[in-house]
């Protein structure tokens, strides 16, 4: 029932408010705000954080330096194989700890230990981004980001529920189709959020529906759309801004919490050098660099010179932004392209990596193959301890997010790599074309 889900999410939100959100806004944000326009304040802050966490710095926080030749690098595989080597002893500031489970677009599950302070500081940075958009505490927000917020086929046609504590409308990203998007738009317009948080693929579907009909979002209080977790393509950004009439504020981060990039009111990307130390690693593509980060917030498990696997295009030396903020500028975030699957019933499904989260003890990596006609195959590279119960748990988890399809698990020795040494997390086999930039037309 809708009210039970609303109660569940409201209680979760209450816990987060009491444990981290209030503290992040009250105690962390003021210092972060002072860093925005003062090079001297920013430099002092970064140096103090590096000393507190016990990590090295690669250079001036006003620029993104090239990584020095021969610098030892930390990879996701290193973290998976030897996490105990990265854990720091418990001390004041890192006594209370929790874990973050991730797979990202690589399909390789990973568990990161984080301190309570890291959680609080993360909220401070997210709050700063929300203030750049124009949101203030207790104002309404909408959320379309992969949570299971309704039944497979809700009888009342409501693909959303309320988080009363967080004053949020939580909407399913797994039921978007030509037949349902109209109801989504009506619910958003009635709720009147100040910010819509969404995967790019989810908000792109709504924008395509609106633009195809020559309609514009009619809500009057919306200040911005905040996207994350997938690459925001320029065409999608333009379509969303046309349909909703507001700026898209794209946010880049990782569950490993080593670097972050935010968007200002001018639409420019700023690398947040008070979040983590960033450096550039050359790639085969001219002008593009892999982002290497050193976390400044997690005293329990700080990652130093961690290869994010994501590629950016830095702005030229000396580039500045009319917003007046002193953080280094980034022209584009290249990594994290994902396929969006269009199912026979019209649903647009993206961001499938969550299915592999939490299986890192027995699963090395996984890949989602779509074979058309609502049929999926989950390929897994797993340890010998993997068994039929693990496969069934993976299937059940997948069906929670993508109900009404056929899904099977295949254990394989390896997943083929491309020339760059990486594999595609989502692939299309034997038909079933991806819908990378959703286009929805009148029937």
For every one of its 443 residues, what pLDDT tens digit does the chain have, with 9 covering 90 and above?
A: 688 999 999 999 999 999 999 999 999 999 999 999 999 999 999 999 999 999 999 889 999 999 988 999 999 888 888 888 899 998 887 888 888 776 555 556 678 899 999 999 999 999 999 999 999 999 999 999 988 899 888 888 899 999 999 999 999 988 888 889 999 999 999 999 999 999 888 899 899 999 999 999 999 999 999 999 888 889 899 999 999 999 999 999 988 999 999 999 999 999 999 999 999 999 888 899 999 999 999 999 999 999 998 999 999 877 899 999 999 999 999 865 566 788 888 888 876 766 777 665 677 778 888 998 899 999 988 878 888 998 999 998 888 888 889 999 999 887 776 554 556 778 888 654 555 444 443 32
Mutual angle of helices 234-244 and 200-212, in 10-degree steps: 60
Residue 440's pLDDT is: 41
- Give the pLDDT confidence score for residue 439 in this predicted structure: 42
CATH 3.40.50.12780 residue spans of the chain = 2-333
CB neighbour class for 399 (10 Å; exposed up to 12, middle 13-18, buried from 19): middle
CB neighbour burial string for 266-290, b if at least 16 within 10 angstroms, e if fewer? eebbbbbbbbbbbbbbeeeeeebbb
Tokens found for residue 131: 């203030």
| This prediction's pTM | 0.82
pLDDT at 28: 97
Contact between 312 and 330 under an 8 Å Cβ cutoff? The reply is: yes
Tell me which residue has tokens 């210092």. Answer: 31
Instruction: Please report the pLDDT score of residue 407 as a whole number.
Output: 93
CATH 3.30.300 fits 347-428, yes or no: yes
Angle at 212 between CA 105 and CA 443, to 5 degrees: 100
Contact 361, 107 (CB under 8 A): no
How far apart, in Å, are the Cα atoms of 134 and each of 38, 122, 139, 141, 193? 21, 19, 10, 12, 12
The ranges of the chain annotated as CATH 3.30.300 are: 347-428
Contacts 24+ apart (CB under 8 A), 51-56: 52/93, 52/299, 53/295, 53/296, 53/297, 53/298, 53/299, 53/302, 54/88, 54/299, 54/302, 55/277, 55/294, 55/295, 55/296, 55/302, 55/304, 56/277, 56/294, 56/304
Domain 2-333: assigned CATH number:
3.40.50.12780
At residue 104, the pLDDT reads 52
């Amino acid at each position: 029932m809708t009210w039970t889900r609303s109660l569940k999410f409201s209680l979760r939100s209450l816990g987060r408010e009491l444990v981290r959100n209030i503290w992040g806004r009250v105690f962390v944000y003021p210092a972060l705000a002072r860093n925005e326009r003062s090079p001297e304040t920013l430099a002092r802050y970064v140096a103090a954080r590096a000393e507190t966490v016990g990590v090295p710095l690669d250079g001036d926080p006003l620029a993104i330096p090239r990584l020095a030749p021969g610098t030892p690098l930390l990879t996701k595989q290193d973290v998976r194989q030897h996490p105990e080597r990265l854990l720091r002893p418990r001390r004041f500031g890192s006594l209370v700890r929790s874990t973050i489970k991730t797979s990202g677009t690589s399909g390789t599950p990973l568990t990161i230990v984080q301190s309570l302070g890291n959680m609080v500081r993360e909220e401070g940075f997210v709050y700063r981004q929300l203030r750049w958009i124009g949101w203030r505490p207790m104002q309404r927000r909408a959320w379309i980001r992969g949570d299971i917020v309704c039944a497979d086929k809700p009888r009342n046609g409501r693909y959303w529920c309320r988080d009363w504590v967080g004053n949020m409308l939580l909407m399913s990203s797994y039921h978007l189709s030509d037949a349902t998007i109209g109801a989504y738009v009506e619910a958003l317009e009635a709720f009147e959020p100040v910010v819509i948080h969404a995967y790019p693929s989810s908000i792109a579907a709504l924008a395509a529906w609106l633009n195809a009909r020559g309609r514009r979002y009619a809500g009057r209080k919306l200040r911005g759309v905040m996207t994350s977790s997938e690459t925001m393509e320029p065409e999608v950004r333009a379509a969303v801004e046309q349909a909703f009439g507001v700026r898209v504020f794209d946010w880049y981060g990782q569950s490993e919490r080593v670097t972050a990039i935010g968007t200002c009111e001018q639409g420019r990307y700023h690398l947040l050098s008070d979040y983590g130390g960033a450096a550039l690693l050359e790639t085969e593509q001219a002008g593009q660099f892999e982002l290497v980060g050193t976390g400044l917030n997690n005293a329990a498990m700080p990652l130093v010179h961690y290869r994010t696997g994501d590629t950016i295009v830095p702005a030229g030396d000396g580039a500045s932004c009319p917003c007046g903020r002193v953080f280094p500028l980034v022209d584009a975030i290249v990594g994290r392209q994902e396929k969006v699957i269009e199912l026979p019933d019209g649903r647009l499904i993206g961001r499938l990596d969550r299915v592999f989260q939490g299986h890192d003890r027995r699963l090395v990596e996984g890949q989602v193959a779509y074979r058309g006609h609502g049929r999926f195959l989950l390929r897994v590279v797993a340890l010998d301890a993997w068994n039929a119960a693990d496969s069934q748990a993976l299937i059940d988890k997948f069906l929670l997010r993508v109900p009404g399809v056929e899904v099977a698990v295949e254990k394989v020795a390896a997943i083929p790599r491309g020339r760059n040494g990486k594999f595609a997390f989502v692939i299309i086999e034997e038909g079933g074309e991806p819908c990378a930039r959703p286009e929805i037309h009148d029937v």
